[in-house]
């Protein structure tokens, strides 16, 4: 019998995020993940870490939240295996990825804006400047040992410098009025309506969207999962 050198064990990716941009990015790369949204209280996780370790660097904060989300979803899948099967999650083949993003501007960490006024103020502070978009990624390997499962839990952070256009107040208010900035970390997108207002980036633009495909590929490589095993 001839065995293809390209044959690899099937891996089912579970995305522990409700972000449409992350899902779209994975689908564009040929991956069809199952979405299972975590129930993590982000403020509580950060507050607990602050009490234990002191103030966190932005790159560490997003990694901590990504870990909390991925491990929360992994526990739910293992605890509710019958429900997971109905969702199409093959637990014995599942690898969970959790992500979280924050913008660092002038030493301050910025998540999603509180409201439209906050988004306008953010953009007035950001325009003509550069900020760093940090996106934490965390993997939990739930696969059975018989198909190569490692039981590993590991992660890393992608950091990309974004240079913002020096736009006027009318342009800012018109953008905020679309509602898009209210739904995303840093109050902007690079793959949507905010794209014209990002002059350039230094680093992986996928990380700005919310999930770095090269970094995810590297993390999967750490648990011997080739990228091609995720594609349908």
Element (H, E) at 20: helix 20-28
pLDDT band at 202 (very low <50, low <70, confident <90, very high): very high
Question: Helices 169-177 & 116-126, crossing angle to 10 degrees?
Answer: 140
Task: Give per-residue burial for 174-212: e unless 16+ CB within 10 Å, then b.
Answer: ebbeeebbeebbbbbbbbbebeebbeebeebbbbbbbbb
Q: What is the pLDDT of residues 76-118, one digit of tens each?
A: 888 765 555 546 666 778 999 999 999 999 888 888 899 999 9
Q: What pLDDT does residue 50 have?
A: 85
**What CATH class does 12-226 carry?**
alpha beta
State how far the Cα of 218 lies from the Cα of 139, in Å rounded to an integer: 11
- Asked if 137 and 219 touch (Cβ cutoff 8 Å), the reply is yes
Which residues neighbour 60 within 8 Å (Cβ) at sequence distance 6 or greater? 157
> What residue spans define the domains of the chain?
12-226
Q: Find where tokens 């019998």 sit.
A: 1
d(CA 100, CA 69): 9
User: Which has more pLDDT, 64 or 231?
Assistant: 64
pLDDT at 1: 38
Instruction: Indicate which residues carry an active-site annotation.
Output: 100
Does residue 9 surpass a pLDDT of 70? no
């Amino acid at each position: 019998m001839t065995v293809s050198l390209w044959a690899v064990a099937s891996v089912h990716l579970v995305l522990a995020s409700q972000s449409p941009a992350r899902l779209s990015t994975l689908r564009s790369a040929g991956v069809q993940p199952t979405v299972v949204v975590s129930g993590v209280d982000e403020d509580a996780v950060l507050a607990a870490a602050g009490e234990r370790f002191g103030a966190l660097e932005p790159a560490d904060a997003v990694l901590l939240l990504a870990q909390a989300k991925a491990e929360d979803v992994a526990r739910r899948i293992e605890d509710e295996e019958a429900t997971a099967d109905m969702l199409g999650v093959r637990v014995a083949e599942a690898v969970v990825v959790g992500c979280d993003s924050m913008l660092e501007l002038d030493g301050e960490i910025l998540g999603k804006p509180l409201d439209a006024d906050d988004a306008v103020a953010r953009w007035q502070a950001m325009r003509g400047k550069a900020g760093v978009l940090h996106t934490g990624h965390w993997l939990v390997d739930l696969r059975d040992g018989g198909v190569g499962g490692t039981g590993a839990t590991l992660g890393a952070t992608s950091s990309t410098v974004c240079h913002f256009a020096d736009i006027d107040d009318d342009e800012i208010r018109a953008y905020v009025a679309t509602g898009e900035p209210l739904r995303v970390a840093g109050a902007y997108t690079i793959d949507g309506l905010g794209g014209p207002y990002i002059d350039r980036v230094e680093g992986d633009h996928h990380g700005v969207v919310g999930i770095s495909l090269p970094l995810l590929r590297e993390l999967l490589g750490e648990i011997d999962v080739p990228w091609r095993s995720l594609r349908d």
